[in-house]
Every structure is written in structure tokens, then in C-alpha cells.
Amino acid sequence: MFLEFFNSIGAVASDAVNSAAVVADMIAGIETSVIIDTLTAAAVSLAIKLVKVLLIWFIGRWITRRVVKLVKLLMEKRDVNVSIRTFVGSLVDVVFMIILIIMIISVLGIDTSSFIAIFASAGVAIGMALSGTLQNFAGGVMILLFRPFKVGDFIEAQGVTGTVKEIQIFNTIVHTGDNKVILLPNGPVSTGIINNYSRESLRRVDFTFSISYGDDFEKARKVLMELISQDSRVLDAPAAPFVELGALSASSIDLTVRLWCKQEDYWGIHFDLNKKVYERFPKEGLNFPYQTLTVNVNKD
């Protein structure tokens, strides 16, 4: 068995030696001038390819720097967040770098279809793995570009109400009234309903005050208008104070009150008028209603 193994190795070695001898005879049969011409042509072709590669590299990098600078300048004019500007600039630089590498590989005569297929497959895999993260990134870019809200605004989004403290690439940080820190993913925020209480400089304050049946509605209306006129924070524009009978409920007469004020005076007026009405109505003989239930008893 061992003898057969060594015989096979010897046969392979003999074939290799014979092949080398054949190649050596072929080279020996070629004239020296032909070899020199072939090597010279190969060297010239390689030098031309290297020159092309260098030109593509330096010109491509110059164009890349210009494009990145232009993108950052456009985002700076739109006052986009610095973090977004840096990230997008790096992303553009990487994309152009990949294009340059593919072009250089193509110039060197290497088939680029396999590289493109690899990049495409990698892109699909990364996109599927980071779909949620990429959605949040895109949402952050949309928020910073279109500005549905800004830092310092009081908003309501995704069931959370609070003041915006920071807009990051992937999340928006909101501080609630009880000082909780909430991180809202930018993807759902950008595609959902956003209630921005701070966008306009003026706000309307709506109230509903109730009195009992049998009380004088006109007197209640007069008292309310008097209390409103005493508050200098109430504005006459875009509409004058409004007090009217809003509804005849099951156990009360409801008065609808609408006032306009500056954004910063909203809560002050809200709490102050509630307090003044609670103190003033009983003094004027106006009663706050309670829910009542009438029971009829039938006797045989």
C-alpha cells in the first residue's frame, strides 16, 4: 500500500518536471525581442491603467469634497442640526467612495458585477436589520428640515405632552410637567399627529361654567363678563370675549366662555378665572349644580 502511494507521488513529480521542461523549451524557442516587446506592452498598459486610476481617484475625491461642502452649506442655510449635517456629510462621502472604488476596479479590468451584487446584498441585509433605526433617522431629518416643532415648544405627540428639550438624530427628548424625561422615536413622531401649543403667539382659553336650573342666566353672564373685564391679560383680538348659553344639560345650565390671550398667559387665566368664579357665584346667589336623581314611588 505504501509502495503504491510513493509511486503515485513519484508520478506526479515526474509530470510536473516534464511540464516545467516543456514550458522552458517554449520560452527558449521564443526570440528575446518578442519577450521584450511583450513585457514593454504589458508595462505600458499597466502604466496607463495606473494613470487612469490616479486621475479617477484625485478628481473623484475633489468632486466628493465639493459635493459634501455644498450639502453641508445647504443644510446650514436651513439651520439643520449640527449632528445631522455631520452625519449626512459622512454618508455622502462614503457613497462617493464606494462609487470611486467600483470605477477603479472596472478600469483595472476586474469584473465589477460581483462587487455590485455584494454591495447590493449587504445594503439589503443592513436595511432590513436597521429598518426601525433608519426610519427614526429619516424622521429626525424630516423634523429638522420642516420644523413642526423646535426646542422649547410645548407639544403633544404619541400620547405624550411636554416641553421639547432636544431633537436628536433618532429621538426627540421631551420633559413632562412632572419632570419626567421621555424619549420619543422620531419615526412615529414625524408621521403621527403633532399638537404644537407654542407655534402661535396667541391662544384661546375655553371654559364651561354651570349653574342650577332656576338661577338667573343673564345675571351669571353679567358676572362672568365683569370678571373677564377686570383681567388685563384678556385680549379683544382676534375676537372679543364670548359668553353664551352653551347647553341645557340634564341637571345644569352650561355657559360657554371663550377668551383670547397671549401664549404665556394661558394657564394663569385658566386657573385665576376658575377661582374667581368659584368665589363670586355663591355671593351672587348663583348655585353650582349637583347631579340629581328623581325617584317616583307608586303606592298600591
Query: Mind listing the pLDDT tens digit for each residue in 254-272?
Result: 999 999 999 889 999 999 9
- Cell numbers placing 50: 495606473
List the CATH code of the domain at 33-129.
1.10.287.1260
CA 109 from centre of chain: 42
Q: What is the pLDDT of residue 6?
A: 44
The torsion angle over the Cα atoms of residues 145, 151, 157 and 160, rounded to 10 degrees, is 160
Q: Which run of H or of E encompasses 166?
A: strand 160-167
CATH code of 148-196, in short, is 2.30.30.60
Please state, in angstroms and rounded to a whole number, the distance separating the CA atoms of residues 172 and 170.
7
Successive 10-residue mean pLDDT values, the chain, 300 residues: 49 55 54 68 76 84 87 79 68 82 77 66 62 77 84 90 87 90 91 90 93 92 94 91 91 93 92 95 90 76
Give residue 2's pLDDT.
45
Instruction: Identify which of 131, 133, 207, 197 has the alpha carbon closest to the alpha carbon of residue 160.
Output: 197
Per-residue confidence (pLDDT) for residue 259, from 0 to 100: 94
Residue 133: per-residue pLDDT? 73
Q: Rounded to two decimals, what is the model's pTM?
A: 0.57
Q: Could you state, in order of their start, the residue ranges of all structural domains in the chain? A: 33-129, 148-196, 202-283
Cα radius of gyration (the chain):
40
Tell me if the domain spanning 202-283 has CATH number 3.30.70.100. Answer: yes
Closest CA to 239 of 202, 271, 195: 202
